[in-house]
Amino acid sequence: MSHRAAWSSLAAAGLLFLAGCASEPTRIQPGTSAAETLQRLGAPTGRYPLNGGGERLQYSRMPAGFEVVDIDLDASGKVVSVTQVLTEARFDHDIQVDRWRQNEVLAFYGKPYEISRVSSFDGTVWTWRYKAINERRMLYIYIDPTGVVRRYHTGDDLEFERIRD
């Protein structure tokens, strides 16, 4: 391979790397405009109004991924926070049992990986995949028939084990 071809290949790889970084939601900095955020990341998977006239742009990697990033904008359209919300360290603080309704769950975590039922609960169980120190895990949120969050818990993601067997 000539030096010119090698440099071209290296430059192309570098551009692909930079393009990947530019489209990573967690790399958006506070103060970035909504227009620049949308230009860099593309259309969000969800948009939700916030108190005070702001808006949440949500970038979810569900159903196959493990991250949901909420980018909150103030009323002037500037980024005020960027948060990867699917982390065990946040669940106890964020999830509001007996207070959140299903629309608030959607606005925080986006569409779940799966919605199911279990015989021990009158309602639905919404499930998201996430990673905890590179271990595949699941977040289960139990929503009663009136749409209120009644409990949640985490567990191992056994789907991967079934696929490997």
Distance CA 107, CA 57 (A): 9
Q: What is the pLDDT at residue 63?
A: 84
pLDDT of residue 106: 96
**Model's pTM, two decimal places?**
0.81
Which band of pLDDT confidence, cut at 50, 70 and 90, is reported for residue 134? confident
Q: Is the pLDDT of residue 9 over 60?
A: no
Question: CA–CA separation, 100 vs 97, rounded Å?
Answer: 6
| pLDDT of 7 higher than 70 | no
With beta carbons less than 8 A apart as the criterion, state whether 28 and 37 touch: yes
3-state SS, residue 4: helix
Check whether 60 has a pLDDT greater than 90.
Answer: yes
Is residue 68 within 8 Å of 61, Cβ to Cβ?
yes
Read off the tokens for 39. Answer: 């230009």
Q: What tokens appear for 89 in the block?
A: 């360290």
